[in-house]
């Protein structure tokens, strides 16, 4: 699919009115085709900026996930 058709497809997905948790797998797949990435993830945060949930296309092992999140969200 060419870039302009991918943009249209992404816009259409965003206008479906679906809950974000249901939309994210299809949306991330389309975005990855647009930007040529191997995998993607999305983080939902609350009003205080704390991560409430996430969706990842490829999960890291639990030990690696913990290291990643600890370093990413370390409060200094």
Q: Tell me: the pLDDT tens digits for 8-50?
A: 999 999 999 999 999 999 999 999 988 888 888 898 999 998 8
What are the residues whose beta carbons fall under 8 Å from the beta carbon of 24, sequence distance 6 or more?
42, 55
> Which tops the pLDDT comparison, 54 or 19?
19
pLDDT of residue 75: 59
pLDDT at 76 (0 to 100): 53
CA proximity to 34, closest of 59, 12, 55, 9 = 9
pLDDT of 58 > 90? The answer is: no
Q: Tell me the three state secondary structure of residue 63.
A: helix
List the domain boundaries for the chain. Answer: 3-72
Quick one: pLDDT at residue 3?
86
Q: Is residue 28 within a helix (H) or strand (E), and if so which, with residue range?
A: helix 20-35
d(CA 6, CA 20): 19
**Neighbouring C-beta atoms of residue 58, cutoff 10 Å:** 8
């Amino acid at each position: 699919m060419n870039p302009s058709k991918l943009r249209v497809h992404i816009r259409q997905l965003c206008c479906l009115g679906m809950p974000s948790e249901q939309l994210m797998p299809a949306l991330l797949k389309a975005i990855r085709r647009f930007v040529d990435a191997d995998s993607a993830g999305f983080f939902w945060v609350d009003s205080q900026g704390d991560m409430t949930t996430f969706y990842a296309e490829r999960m890291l092992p639990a030990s690696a996930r913990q290291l990643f999140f600890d370093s990413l969200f370390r409060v200094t």
